[in-house]
Amino acid sequence: AYRTSGNRNSMLLGLTAGRRTEIEFLNGRIVDIAKSHGIPVPLNEQMVELVQKRESGDDPLGDSNF
C-alpha cells in the first residue's frame, strides 16, 4: 500500500483535469441494470450524481475535496 499511496485513478485524474469521466459507463450502467430489475442502488445513484455535478462545474466544494 505504501508504494502505491501516491497513485491516482483515471476518474480522479479526469476530474482534476476538467475532463469528462467514465462514470456513466461504470456506476451509471449499474444504476440502469439495477433499475430494470427493481433493485435499489442509492449509493451508486448518488455517486453518479456527484461526479456529474463535478464534471459540469456545479460542485460547491471545488478542488478542496481532492
Provide mean pLDDT across the span 49-65. 77
What does pTM read for this prediction?
A: 0.74
DSSP 1-57: --TTTT---HHHHHHHTT---STIIIIIHHHHHHHHTT---HHHHHHHHHHHHHHHT
pLDDT at 66: 56
pLDDT in tens, 17-34: 888 899 999 999 999 999
- 59 or 41: which leads in pLDDT: 41
